[in-house]
Structure 1
Amino acid sequence: MNMRNFLPLAWLAAIVLATGCGKPKSSTTGWKINDTKNGGFMANLKFKGQMTGPGLVFIEGGTFTMGRVEEDVIKDWNNIPRQVTVSSFYMDEHEVTNLAYREYLYWLERVFDLEYFPEIYRSALPDTLVWRDKLAYNEALVENYLRYPAYNFYPVVGVNWEQAMKYCAWRTDRVNEMILIEKGVFYPLNDQRDADHFDTEVYLYLSGEYTQQNKKGLKDYRPNSPYGKEGRPVTIEDGILLPKYRLPTEAEWEYAAYGNIGNRQFDRLYEGNKFTWAGNSMRTSEGKSRGDMLGNFKRGRGDNMGLGGWLNDQADITMQVKFYPPNDFGLYDMEGNVAEWVLDVYRPLSFEDLTDFRPFRGNEFTTFDKDYQGAGELTVLQEPQVDQNGKIVRLPGQLPVRPVTEQENLNRRNYQYSDYRDYLDGDVESSIYYSKDVPSGEEPMYDYNKTTLIGNTIRVVKGASWKDRQYWVSPGTRRFMEQTVATDWIGFRCAMDRLGMQNDLKRKKTSKKPKRQKFRPYRMSK
């Protein structure tokens, strides 16, 4: 057995031997743990590791060369190679589909009163007009792509970066709510309306808000629940609730797309992928898939799908997810279908500034606003929280947040301000000569949209789409787009942090030689 896999098992065995059949004792104080009659300190000593959330695939992290690995045809010089390390994480097996996004829309329409909060539902709607072209006929897609069942399992498009982020937040709450229901902590309620709906942050910080749902009907619904007898809320220490769903960082997306596993000698990678093809099915002459296009991208001008009788990728626009073979991590459509939003703010020379461990540009540190509307204590929002431009940033039923202040961080060395999206990139505001006393607007950070297309609301887009040539299939390539813009070729998938041990002892090895894929309707997991 691999020694690194054996150590945690040996550690658990030692605890069992030391504690015997009775309550375990603290090695620090000698007091019993998990004994309500003896101190009452509770800890999950039988934790077996983070559960994999619905739709996610475990990605074991590691070191890789991020950036250009082939000729920079565009000559942007915006992806300078650099060795970085990515921690293990989880990523969606495939892109978010129309069906999944419609489930989100349905929930918004059901929970928030359309007459009282019309903008909540409307602001989440994908822009179906992205399919229109001045010199092409695409009205059938405008009218049908999002909702017609033939496109149920096609990737959703027309969603901007901000909408994708809100979808991730919604998914976090729905997944954690279902976990609590299945554990017998919650009684399922269908009458959640407006501010009265489940929110993970509210549950963790204001558990009293859910006292009734913790106790209501639990004796009949889950008579053996360890939580139902007392109505005790679950805490972070229990290890039941999952971390947040979010967009992957650029480094995570690129690392996952390469799928460079197996091609190593000791700790050296000897044959790295330049593209994302699954195993050896396209790099060699082996297998029936020789010569086939194993991703959905454009072969050349005017060639979106090949000849009648031999369609090269069998798709005119997007294609249903999981149609083409996965890469070696078990991820589908990392080499086409739609390009994808990632978390990062775009800078041409990001790789010169970023750290080499979990690199990311885009941090905006916030804290809960205890004094929101003069409340004086933590409370949930009853009305949507909007920014200075009138956009909804927090929904009713969520906790209000605000940027951290410099005054709060005077004694910190790792950060002082809230917004680090433009840190060290050469603009006036981040320089040592910038004065915070200068009135806002007199020293513009960027002359955005006049002399440059780069600003703090420009996000990185990764991967190729059905509209792109093979150059963009290489994971090292990168593009950018304003975070409020939606297109017919950009979609997204979610990611999640891996907490604790970086390898997954239960993970099954993925096949390195996937079989030729035949067209079949998408099958939902049971």
Structure 2
Amino acid sequence: MTLRLIAGVIASIGITSCSNTNSTGVSTATGWKINDKKGGFQYNTNYGDQKAPLGMVAVEGGTFTMGRVQDDVMYDWNNNPTQQYVQSFYMDEAETTNLMYNEYLYWLKSVFPVSEANYRHIYESALPDTMVWRSRLGFSETLTSTYLRHPAYANYPVVGVTWLQANDYAKWRTDRVNEIALENAGYLKKNAKVMEAYGDAHFSTDAYLANPDLVYGGNRDVVFQGVKNKAKDGSRHVYATQEFGLFTAEFRLPTEAEWEYAAVGLVGNREYNSYKGRKKYPWEGGQTKSTGRKNKGDQLANFKQARADYGGIAGWSTDGADITNQVKSYAPNDFGLYDMAGNVAEWVADVYRPVIDTDDNNDFNYFRGNVYYKNQIGPDGKTVIVTSETMQFDTLANGKLRARNLPGQVAQVMVDESDTFLRQNFNSGDNREYKDGGYNAPEHTLVTDEDGSVYGKYDSAKRTTLVDNKSRVYKGGSWKDRAYWLDPATRRFYSEDQATDYIGFRLAMTKVGAKPGTKRTKK
């Protein structure tokens, strides 16, 4: 089969490039020609640097002191300072909004209609919990029906979303970004993502990379083999592969170390190769009000300023919000990130433990929570794609169902002993308890009576902690918090399958390739 030059693909989607490999197109290993139209090895030898994804800003990695270096007035004792190094990454410049999340809900409802019994729980499991706005002694019923959907709140941060839901959204976003990239490059039929995606037949990045013949239900009219570039003999070219440079790295929740590093923004507090002190907030100074001449006295974030004071005196010192506020309503920090203090607190990827392990082996891209999976391989030796018949659901603590994988995605299984045998860097698929055993948090359960009714039963055993492997870290102060929590070093936890009216999220992406080059200036 004849193959096309990868450079043509890259040009078709507007990626500028500067060669970081042999620009002659000849292998320095064998002397063979790469990207020969007659066939052979195909590779994007003109790939330049990764560009910041839409809506994200680049955060250049570096070393910093993670944790509190000032008095711990709350006596949390869970954020003792430790030196860490964070690799370069990208982060959403603002929190995920209701508008963005509603696009996700619309896609789910369109592809997996609730009118079909097999799909009903998919959409329902993604819905934010709008009842988080209710209070026993407060009136907020209007928010339960308007905050998520009404255009007045379109650019406000989404809340009522669990850690699990945020991760599902991240996976969906990865697939949609890769889908439009392949469509623009001519590998997917134009507008099939809107007109023909239904049930099992839709695009999944992992499924395409594993077996593109099964994407869109194996519909060859949608999944092209480079149809835009037929060879002279009429044959078509191969599917896109990772070597083409078309696929984005995955969107994901930031790690706790990444979030804190990005929030404190010490890059603006540097002189040569040293930081000039420690910042208490994402902005300069130790106050929550601006000292600039143009907007002196303005609040730099929305938060609970005092008892019964969520925004200030009307018409005077108000911060412009009573609950959350539109994203980007306040000035960004030195990385160009908005609302890293105030508005909503944010989920991060880590499993919570009271102590950050300071072992020397864990001072690079620190993260607790690794659970390693691999693609499931069927008896025929091929990757298993989930269907509506084979889809499996997990029952959460609150009784709601959550699909492990959507129809059309690759079935996943945890790595086993065959993958870890004689490995030195890890020896288990689940590393959440590495060097810090499990915690005996209460185990509330769902009970089914003989008549089929289901109710929740509280754990009657005496427990010494609320922490377990489902406890996830969230960072930053929210509209509902006092100023203490605006410090990026503070940390709290919440169950991964529960939601609140003050926790939202934003996504991150690892930067692949070289660390961003910056001019070494004094400041």
- TM-score, with length taken from structure 1: 0.83
Q: How many Å separate the matches in 2 of 1:157 and 1:63?
A: 32
- Find 1:247's aligned residue among 220, 229, 253: 253
Trace 1:414-433 onto structure 2 (pairs within 5 A): 414-427=425-438
Q: 1:385 to 1:355 in 2, by over 3 A?
A: same
Partner of residue 37, structure 2: 36
Partner of residue 367, structure 1: 374
Q: What displacement does 1:376 show?
A: 5.1
Partner of residue 381, structure 1: 386
Partner of residue 411, structure 2: 400
Partner of residue 498, structure 1: 511
Aligned CA-pair RMSD: 2.9
Q: What displacement does 1:234 show?
A: 1.4
2:363 alignment partner AA:
D
- Find 2:334's aligned residue among 328, 331, 348: 328
Q: 1:447 to 1:36 in 2, by over 3 A?
A: farther
2:500 alignment partner AA:
T
Q: How many Å separate the matches in 1 of 2:490 and 2:164?
A: 22
Partner of residue 126, structure 1: 128
Q: How many Å separate the matches in 2 of 1:455 and 1:428?
A: 5
Q: What displacement does 1:464 show?
A: 0.4
- Find 2:283's aligned residue among 277, 294, 310: 277
Structure 2 unaligned residues grouped into runs of 5+ = 1-15, 441-458
Q: What displacement does 1:368 show?
A: 1.1
Q: What displacement does 1:48 show?
A: 0.9
Asked if 2 retains the 8 angstrom alpha-carbon contact of 1:60 and 1:503, the reply is yes
Partner of residue 450, structure 2: none
The alignment partner of 1:337 has SS state of: coil
Identity %: 47
Asked if 2 retains the 8 angstrom alpha-carbon contact of 1:80 and 1:351, the reply is no
Q: 1:392 to 1:14 in 2, by over 3 A?
A: closer
Q: How many Å separate the matches in 2 of 1:159 and 1:448?
A: 29
Partner of residue 434, structure 1: none
- Find 1:292's aligned residue among 292, 295, 298: 298
The alignment partner of 2:404 has SS state of: strand
Q: 1:102 to 1:284 in 2, by over 3 A?
A: closer
Q: What displacement does 1:169 show?
A: 0.4
Q: What displacement does 1:160 show?
A: 0.5
Q: What displacement does 1:448 show?
A: 9.3
1:237 alignment partner AA:
E
Q: What displacement does 1:394 show?
A: 0.7
Is 1:260 the equivalent of 2:261? no
Q: What displacement does 1:184 show?
A: 2.4
Q: How many Å separate the matches in 1 of 2:462 and 2:58?
A: 40
Q: How many Å separate the matches in 1 of 2:290 and 2:120?
A: 55
Q: What displacement does 1:324 show?
A: 0.6
- Find 1:487's aligned residue among 491, 500, 503: 500
1:193 alignment partner AA:
Y
Is 1:215 the equivalent of 2:224? yes
Q: How many Å separate the matches in 2 of 1:195 and 1:231?
A: 25
The alignment partner of 2:357 has SS state of: helix
Asked if 1 retains the 8 angstrom alpha-carbon contact of 2:438 and 2:469, the reply is no
Note the alpha carbon deviations across 1:111-141, whole angstroms, 9 max, x for none.
0131231000000000000000000000010
Q: 1:186 to 1:134 in 2, by over 3 A?
A: same
The alignment partner of 1:110 has SS state of: helix
The alignment partner of 2:222 has SS state of: helix
Structure 1 unaligned residues grouped into runs of 5+ = 1-8, 430-445, 513-526
Partner of residue 171, structure 1: 173
2:139 alignment partner AA:
Y
Q: 1:279 to 1:450 in 2, by over 3 A?
A: closer
Is 1:206 the equivalent of 2:215? no
Q: What displacement does 1:54 show?
A: 1.9
Asked if 2 retains the 8 angstrom alpha-carbon contact of 1:69 and 1:274, the reply is no
Q: 1:288 to 1:229 in 2, by over 3 A?
A: farther
Q: How many Å separate the matches in 2 of 1:392 and 1:175?
A: 22
Q: How many Å separate the matches in 2 of 1:382 and 1:267?
A: 54
Trace 1:21-170 onto structure 2 (pairs within 5 A): 24-37=25-38, 40-114=40-114, 115-116=116-117, 117-170=119-172
Partner of residue 454, structure 2: none
Trace 1:231-246 onto structure 2 (pairs within 5 A): 231-246=237-252
Asked if 1 retains the 8 angstrom alpha-carbon contact of 2:59 and 2:91, the reply is yes
Partner of residue 7, structure 2: none
Q: 1:448 to 1:321 in 2, by over 3 A?
A: farther
Q: 1:144 to 1:13 in 2, by over 3 A?
A: closer
Partner of residue 316, structure 1: 322
Q: What displacement does 1:349 show?
A: 0.9
Q: What displacement does 1:288 show?
A: 1.8
Asked if 2 retains the 8 angstrom alpha-carbon contact of 1:321 and 1:333, the reply is yes
2:409 alignment partner AA:
Q
The alignment partner of 2:473 has SS state of: strand
Q: 1:74 to 1:395 in 2, by over 3 A?
A: same
Asked if 2 retains the 8 angstrom alpha-carbon contact of 1:195 and 1:382, the reply is yes
Q: What displacement does 1:14 show?
A: 9.0
Does 318-327 or 304-313 show the bigger shift? Answer: 304-313
Q: Aligned residues, how many?
A: 470
Q: What displacement does 1:265 show?
A: 2.9
Asked if 1 retains the 8 angstrom alpha-carbon contact of 2:439 and 2:468, the reply is no
